[in-house]
Amino acid sequence: MSEYQGRAGAGEGETQPAIGVTELAACIDHTLLRPGATGVDIDRLCDEAKSYGFAAVCVNPVWVDRAVSRLAQSKVVVASVVGFPLGASRSEIKLAETQRALDDGAREIDMVINIGRLLEGDVGYVADEIKLLTAAAHRVGAITKVIIETALLTDDQKRVACELAVGAGADFVKTSTGFGGGGATVSDVALMRSVVGPTVGVKASGGIRTAADALNLLRAGATRLGTSAGPAIVTELSSGVR
C-alpha cells in the first residue's frame, strides 16, 4: 500500500532542501498515550492537531471513537496503538484490537512487534503477525506502522525487523514506543531508511521535543514524527530555528 505521508531525507551527496513550518506540521502524529489521559485531554489534542495541521493524532484504543468524532470534517486522521507498549500479546488479541480500532474509525494502526520472538530468531512468527494485522488494515484502506523498539535491538536485528515489515506489506516502520528505555535517534532512522528504501514510511518516535530534533530526524529519512510536543516544536520552528 505504501501510502505514507511526509518527506524522505535527501540522499547522500544531495543538497538538503529547507523544511518549512507547514511541511513539518504535516509530518507530525500528535500523540497522547499516557495512562492518565482524560476525555478532555483527548479533545484538546484533537483541537491542537486541527489548528496546527498535523497529520494525525495517536491515541490509546479506548479514545479512538471520541477522537474520530472530534476530528470529523477535518483532514487529521486517527491512529491507535496495538499490542502497546510491550508487543507481548497473542496475535489473535492484537488482531482483535486492530479490528476494534478500525471499526471505531482509526485509519492508522501503530503495532508493536513481538520483540521476544524477534530476539530469539522466530522471524516467521513476527512476519505472520505483521501480515495478519496489515491485511486487516488494508481491507478498509487503513495503514500499518510497525514499531520495532530500536532501543532493545542490535543494528542487525533492526535490519531484520525492517525487512520483515516490508516483506509483510506494512506501510511504515517505527522506531519506538517511548516506553522501552530509549527513543528515536538519527542513526536508527538513517539505518531504517537504508533498509526499507524510498517507498515505505519511517516514523521516528520517542524523545522528540525540539525543532532541532525534528529537523534532524526528517533529514535522516523520517517521514513521520510521533511526539507529544508538536505545538511547541512548530512554534519554535516558526520563530526561526533551522
Q: What is the pLDDT of residues 48-94, one digit of tens each?
A: 999 999 999 999 999 999 999 999 999 999 999 999 999 999 999 99
Residue 3 has pLDDT above 50, yes or no: no
Closest among 184, 220, 222, 219 to 200, alpha carbons compared: 222
Task: Please give the share of the chain, as a percent, with pLDDT higher than 70.
Answer: 92
Catalytic residue IDs? 110, 174, 203
pLDDT of residue 181: 87
Residue 17 has pLDDT above 80, yes or no: no
pLDDT of residue 194: 98
Instruction: Read off the pLDDT of each residue in 220-237 and give the average, rounded to a whole number.
Output: 98
Residue 9 has pLDDT above 60, yes or no: no
CA distance 151 to 29: 20
Cell numbers linked to 165: 515489515
Closest among 210, 239, 202 to 227, alpha carbons compared: 210
pLDDT of residue 18: 82
pLDDT tens profile 125-170:
999 999 999 999 999 999 999 999 999 999 999 999 999 999 999 9
pLDDT tens profile 88-122:
999 999 999 999 999 999 999 999 999 999 999 99
Residues in the chain: 242
3-class secondary structure, 184: coil
Query: Would you place residue 4 in the very low, low, confident or very high pLDDT band (cuts 50, 70, 90)?
Result: very low
pLDDT of residue 13: 42
Show me where the domains of the chain are located: 21-237
Judge whether 201 and 166 are in contact, CB under 8 Å: no
pLDDT of residue 12: 42
Domain 21-237 fold: TIM Barrel (3.20.20)
pLDDT of residue 157: 98
